Chain A
Amino acid sequence: MAKALNSALMNEMELDPDVVVLGEDVGINGGVFRITEGLHERFGDERVMDTPLAESGIVGFSIGMALAGMKPVAEMQFMGFMWPALDQLSSHASRLRNRTQGRFSVPLVVRSPYGGGVRALEHHAESFESILAHIPGLKTVIPSDAYDAKGLLISSIRDPDPVVFLEPKRLYRLGKMEVPDEAYTVDIGKAKLLREGTDLTLVGWGSMMPKLVKAAELVSSKGIDAEVIDVRSISPYDERTVNSSVEKTGRLVVVQEAPRTLGFASEIITRAQEDIIDSFKAPAVRVTGFDVPFPFYKMEGWAMPDLDRIVKGMREVLTW
């Protein structure tokens, strides 16, 4: 996925001179996860800007660049350090179009690695995507494989509105997948069916998706046929795809790495209940992180939903 993201940035910077990458260590160093590797060499200081170490400043400065007609792609080095930028995102990026009735707009992408599972230091493994989805006017996109990562990032850069693009860092270098060299897009706001099934619907995003697919394969040996959906963006959220799947299967399990309370899993379940409560054969189940700060890494295995908890969640909706 890391290479696909790099390829997306390469493509878009070549195609559009207004695309500019900025952030901490994105220049000569190529980013701490090497997502911007080679960009500085290719496009120079003007378009690949190492900035002072200041998240609100980076996003605020990027908003100004976007207002002036550029297409900044700002990097937040880790999601845990993104909090200071939330003021700029929610007070300005997300609402300048709205509060000027369309006179101004902010075509901005804020990329950030998120999530745990890589034995990172504290403050380096947060997942607060539901907080972003709660901000009207922002889009929150989260890919789970290399192909989508590239296509969704390109779509995000071309989007006329601000997009927060969250990269599951556990998947940066997990597995291999062929991705086209040329630019292509994947629509924002469309969920993807990863596996068809009839017995239950298993929904997630980002870092959880490989586990969901594996869980579905495991239970298939017991004759259980699970449908697996990657929502790919939580704002906008593709309610139609998820709800029609649940209409078919009658059972819903939503998995999220983030803390349990007020996570996006709650929203997915609520939307399904409002829309198709008659289709439910069992109460929906959430498999989530806990309502604790993401722990030091010796305990991260407990904090994150694992295969066991996911399979047991599936068993719960099947045996109710």
Chain B
Amino acid sequence: MSITSSSGSGPSGNDGRAFSASRLTYQEVSFLEPRECISEDCEFYQIIDEEGSLVSEDPGYDEELLKEMYWWMLFGRMADEKAIKLQRQGRLGTYAPGKGQEAAQVGSALAMEDHDWLFPAFRELPSYMIRGLPFEYNLLYFMGDVRGNRVPEGTRSLPIFVPVSTQVPIAAGFAYARRSKGADSAVLCYLGDGGTSEGDFHEGMNFAGVFGAPVVYVVQNNQWAISVSRKRQTASRTIAQKGVAYGFPGIYVDGNDILAVYKVTREALERARRGEGPTMIEAFTYRRLMHTTADDPLRYRTEEEQNEWERKDPLKRFRLFLEKRGIWTEEWEGELRKKAKELIKGSVEYAESLPGLEPEDLFKFLYGEMPEDLVEQLKYLKKSIANREIQEDASEIQGGFP
């Protein structure tokens, strides 16, 4: 009945990892000075441009890490495509795709150490997998199955947070408490540009700053909160400058450049672990598809705009970079795609073949101990299921009444 997992590998035996890259020692980036992300002409931090060419100093990451980055971005995109397909076939509920944001997600999640903790929003599929949550959990979640939310023991991640930015103060408290209990780990918390308008964003950032919580907020500024553009969320020049207002660094980074995202997130996490407090990172990116499968983006934005961002696509850019390095080849791409397809297939099969839920599942996890009221309500539900006489599509009822 229950899905359990050890060491981050899922029930399908799929932990999604194709590589285990050794992490490099981090080289200092010079943080953008606060004033730079406020000024009119501020530019985001970038290492590789849209053509995959270096525009900043080569951070010198080893080949295995670069390959791992590419693998997760590719896997994320392919899994995303599969999820949309499943939704269109009626096999999955409403789904929030992440296409176009893979660099911001994979770059930041790979920058975490194993003992760090993740606070998700809801659109960061490859990040959850990098933390050890197998793909089938995400599928189950969007199939409306609560078991997809039972984060396996040993996976240092909270479940998805749906109410926008409510995770911001929670992540701050969590990071603070772990630190005061002696842990030297950091917390990475995702949110979006729309989320920066919420009261909880303000309150959470403020608490993080005041208490010096070891938390890194990664704001994926994907330009759109469903149909409302980034310009309607804030009159600030950048979102990054909001970090500065709360008394800690706000970093403005090209969110479609995985090397840049990785580099600044790693430094921010190390800063947090050193006890120097929170950081906010604005990853400037683009939600290339709909908000969810229930949304039609052409109602509020143009095809030209979408095409423009296709040109800036993070996966394409990184492929060009790797190709120039002689790392990416057609053959390698083929191998990765084949492996990803197999993993995805295994996860879909697992999620679709999981035995059904029981009425107990509706009640038994609400409290540590089930209160009498719920015991009674469970009995009632079970009885009503067992003795069901009238179906929902009934047009008449049988038997005496009363």
Name A's B-contacting residues (CB within 8 A). Answer: 46, 49, 51-52, 54, 56-57, 59-70, 72, 84, 87-88, 91-92, 95-105, 136-137, 159-161, 189, 236-237, 239-240
Q: Is B166 close to A, CB under 8 A?
A: yes
Task: Tell whether, in the assembled complex, residue A64 and residue B159 are in contact, meaning their CB atoms are under 8 Å apart.
Answer: no
Could you tell me the distance between the alpha carbons of A245 and B177 in the complex, rounded to whole angstroms?
Answer: 46
Q: Is B227 close to A, CB under 8 A?
A: no
Task: Tell whether, in the assembled complex, residue B366 and residue A61 are in contact, meaning their CB atoms are under 8 Å apart.
Answer: no
Residues of A within 8 A of B361 (CB): 101
Residues of B within 8 A of A56 (CB): 169, 199-200, 203
Shortest Cβ gap from B212 to chain A (Å):
12
Out of A46, A52, A98, A240, which one reaches B180, CB within 8 Å? A46
Q: Quick one: given A97-B367, A97-B368, A103-B153, are A57 and B2 in contact (CB under 8 Å)?
A: no
Residues of A within 8 A of B251 (CB): none
Residues of A within 8 A of B351 (CB): none
Task: Tell whether, in the assembled complex, residue B368 and residue A91 are in contact, meaning their CB atoms are under 8 Å apart.
Answer: no
Which partner residue on chain A sits nearest B119 by CB separation? A64
**Contact string against A for B residues 182-221, beta-carbon threshold 8 Å, 1 for contact and 0 otherwise:** 0000000000000000011001101100110000000000
Q: Is B371 close to A, CB under 8 A?
A: yes
Name B's A-contacting residues (CB within 8 A). Answer: 2, 146-147, 149-151, 153, 158-159, 161, 163, 166, 168-178, 180-181, 199-200, 203-204, 206-207, 210-211, 361, 365-369, 371-373
Which partner residue on chain A sits nearest B180 by CB separation? A46
Q: Quick one: given A57-B207, A98-B366, A99-B159, are A64 and B170 in contact (CB under 8 Å)?
A: yes
Task: Tell whether, in the assembled complex, residue B365 and residue A54 are in contact, meaning their CB atoms are under 8 Å apart.
Answer: no
Task: Tell whether, in the assembled complex, residue A136 and residue B174 are in contact, meaning their CB atoms are under 8 Å apart.
Answer: no
Q: Please name 22 pairs of A and B residues whose Cβ atoms are closer than 8 Å in the assembled complex, sorted by A.
A: A54-B203, A60-B166, A60-B172, A61-B169, A61-B211, A66-B173, A67-B158, A68-B178, A72-B173, A87-B166, A88-B170, A88-B200, A91-B166, A98-B365, A99-B149, A100-B149, A100-B365, A101-B361, A103-B151, A103-B153, A189-B371, A236-B373
Could you tell me the distance between the alpha carbons of A105 and B158 in the complex, rounded to whole angstroms?
Answer: 11
Could you tell me the distance between the alpha carbons of A307 and B203 in the complex, rounded to whole angstroms?
Answer: 43
Which partner residue on chain A sits nearest B373 by CB separation? A236
Main secondary structure of the interface of B (DSSP, over half): helix
Closest 5 CB pairs of A and B: A64-B173, A60-B169, A57-B203, A64-B174, A61-B173
Shortest Cβ gap from B209 to chain A (Å):
9
Task: Tell whether, in the assembled complex, residue A52 and residue B158 are in contact, meaning their CB atoms are under 8 Å apart.
Answer: no
Could you tell me the distance between the alpha carbons of A69 and B176 in the complex, rounded to whole angstroms?
Answer: 11
Could you tell me the distance between the alpha carbons of A87 and B173 in the complex, rounded to whole angstroms?
Answer: 16
Residues of B within 8 A of A64 (CB): 169-177
Residues of A within 8 A of B369 (CB): 160
Residues of A within 8 A of B373 (CB): 236-237, 239
Which partner residue on chain B sits nearest A57 by CB separation? B203
Q: Which of A63, A68, A92, A137 has the most CB of B within 10 A?
A: A68
Q: Quick one: given A61-B172, A64-B169, A88-B166, are A97 and B366 in contact (CB under 8 Å)?
A: yes
Residues of A within 8 A of B159 (CB): 96, 99-100, 103-104
Shortest Cβ gap from B262 to chain A (Å):
26
Q: Quick one: given A87-B166, A105-B368, are A68 and B150 in contact (CB under 8 Å)?
A: no
Residues of A within 8 A of B366 (CB): 95, 97-98, 136-137
Shortest Cβ gap from A233 to chain B (Å):
10
Shortest Cβ gap from B293 to chain A (Å):
22
Shortest Cβ gap from B87 to chain A (Å):
21
Residues of B within 8 A of A49 (CB): 211
Out of A52, A92, A136, which one reaches B203, CB within 8 Å? A52
Q: Which of A49, A67, A161 has the most CB of B within 10 A?
A: A67
Out of B147, B176, B210, which one reaches A65, CB within 8 Å? B176
Q: Quick one: given A52-B210, A105-B368, are A69 and B203 in contact (CB under 8 Å)?
A: no
